[in-house]
Amino acid sequence: MLRHSLMLFVLAVVWSGSFPAIKVGVETIPPLTLTAGRILIAALVLTAFTFIRGDGLPRVRRVWVYCLLIGILGNGLPFTLINWGEEYVDSGQAAILMAVMPLVTIVLAHFFTKGDRLSPLKVMGVVIGFTGVVVLVGPEAVKGLGGDVWRQLAISGGAVCYSLTVILTRNMPPSPLIARSAGVVIMGALVMTPAALIVDRPWALEPNTDGLLAMVFLGLFPTALATIVLFHLVQLRGASFVAYSNYLIPVFAVMWGAAFLDEALSPQTGTALLVILAGLVLTQVRKRPSSGS
């Protein structure tokens, strides 16, 4: 449990770094091109890595079907929706909107995965985790919900896409870990790159150095590395456990801002983290089977 929790923290830290990077990237790179660029970078890196390891790409057609679905629902569509939404939605509101993911995931996992059933403790843990996010961002962010409805719906739509992704990942046919990860980003790149070429005409853009560096960072860490950790952790602990990372992400996003953007670290950050961790513990409590007479 400790090792898996540490992996969950790594996933949350890596994913949380995407939010400030997206803010930098969308200043000079359109959301669709930023999405296509980060997925294409991840695809090149993971494909090279899987051949260096000698695994090769997946050979089963059914695995490629899952790769296509996850590439769209886990990469292309949510990245674009969140990029577009973050152009005008502040980070506190985005954190709350993304926090719908664990609740949606535990409901879907109950019906579509084995061994990941709803329980009162799990629901209570998710509610406590959501409370921790509200403590972190403050009630003012909650009051601002509904201001830019379409942008906020786009961010929530990205969260729902991630819920569907962890369910698909849990039910994906077995294949080498790196090969599956490479297959997902390859399919995502095949879908998103032509879309970006047609819509944004990226050859006519003039991105600055910070924007390009943000795209490279997004491709290497929140996409390539995070995909590997996600696949591994979902198979080990299930969809609901991984979904809880969406409550940890805002905490680490605040810490990223304090470390690299000179943003003030709010006094409620520590309290929020403790509340979220308490919720995580509750979601992982297993009911002991009753002994026979």
Closest CA to 133 of 9, 250, 258: 250
Instruction: Calculate the average pLDDT of the chain.
Output: 84
Place of tokens 């990941």: 116
Q: How confident is the model at residue 288 (pLDDT cuts 50, 70, 90)?
A: very low
* Phi then psi dihedrals of residue 266, to 5 deg: -65, 145
Of all helices (H) and strands (E), which one includes residue 18? Answer: helix 18-25
b (16+ CB within 10 A) / e for 236-250: ebbbbbbbbbbbbbb
Residue 257, amino acid: G
**pTM confidence score:** 0.84
Q: Measuring CA to CA, how many Å separate 217 from each of 38, 169, 179? A: 8, 24, 21
Band (pLDDT 50/70/90 cuts) for residue 290 is: very low
Mean pLDDT value across residues 195-209: 93
Is the pLDDT score of 291 beyond 50? no
Higher-pLDDT residue of 196, 85: 196
Which ranges of 138-238 would DSSP assign to H, the alpha helix? 139-143, 149-170, 177-200, 209-218, 226-237
Coil, helix or strand at residue 62 = helix
| pLDDT confidence of residue 20 | 81
Give me the mean pLDDT over the 115-126 stretch. 80
| Residue 179: closest CA among 66, 17, 37 | 66
Q: Which of 133, 106, 108 is nearest to 283 (CA)?
A: 106
Name the more confident of 55 and 95.
Answer: 55
